[in-house]
Amino acid sequence: MRSQNQQLKAQDVLLLLKIVSMNNASWNQKPVAEALCLSQSEVSEAVARCKYSGLLAPNGKTVMKMALLEFLQYGLKYVFPIKTGAVVRGVPTSHSASPLKEEIQSTEAYVWPYGKGTLRGHSIIPLYPSVPEAALKDEKLYELLSLVDALRVGRAREKELAIMELKKRIENGE
């Protein structure tokens, strides 16, 4: 891969969060690709970009937890900014989904637009098109993605709670 093609892409964050949610250093690309609704080549390229950026260890299997937390806390909202959209039916995210929905009372709901969704709320374009489907297959991944969306769209309190929860889950493999 050429060095100019080494910039992170949204599916790289999705892959890193999936690896964290699995908490298994001997994961294989094919089942992960299927779980994330990505092609195996997309996963392979994501692994290469994450290794290049220092978010995955040189073995390509282990997430560099402190680097990932630093990126999520300080860089994510600038690399993958978001604006809320129209009210649509979809899958709850950010403070409208667990674990933040238990902490934050709000009349404003955020959702990923999705035809099989269960809630009406302001639309948030997911990090990657396959996020709603992948999240509904894996509860741990869903919660990590919702916390990441709180960092992208939330106010100060939501962001603070989200980073505390992400630190707990990423550092301890919960």
The per-residue pLDDT of the chain, averaged, comes to: 93
Cis peptide before 132 (omega within 30 of 0): no
Cα separation, 139 vs 141, whole angstroms: 5
Global confidence as pTM? 0.93
160-169 pLDDT, tens digit per residue, is 999 999 999 9
Whether 73 has a pLDDT exceeding 70, the answer reads yes
User: Could you tell me whether strands 119-123 and 110-113 are parallel, antiparallel, or unpaired per DSSP bridges?
Assistant: parallel
**Domain limits, the chain:** 3-79, 87-172
Whether 77 has a pLDDT exceeding 50, the answer reads yes
| Rounded average pLDDT over 67-93 | 95
CA distances for 100 relative to 124, 128, 153, 158, 172, angstroms? 16, 21, 13, 8, 18
| Rounded average pLDDT over 143-168 | 95
* Residue % of the chain over a pLDDT of 70: 97
The CATH classification of domain 3-79, taken from the options 2.60.120, 1.10.4160, 1.10.760, 1.10.10:
1.10.10
Whether 107 has a pLDDT exceeding 90, the answer reads no
2-59 pLDDT, tens digit per residue, is 455 789 999 999 999 999 999 988 999 999 999 999 999 999 999 999 999 999 999 9
DSSP code string of 44-96? HHHHHHHHHHTSB-TTSSSB-HHHHHHHHHHTHHHHS------EEEEEE-GGG
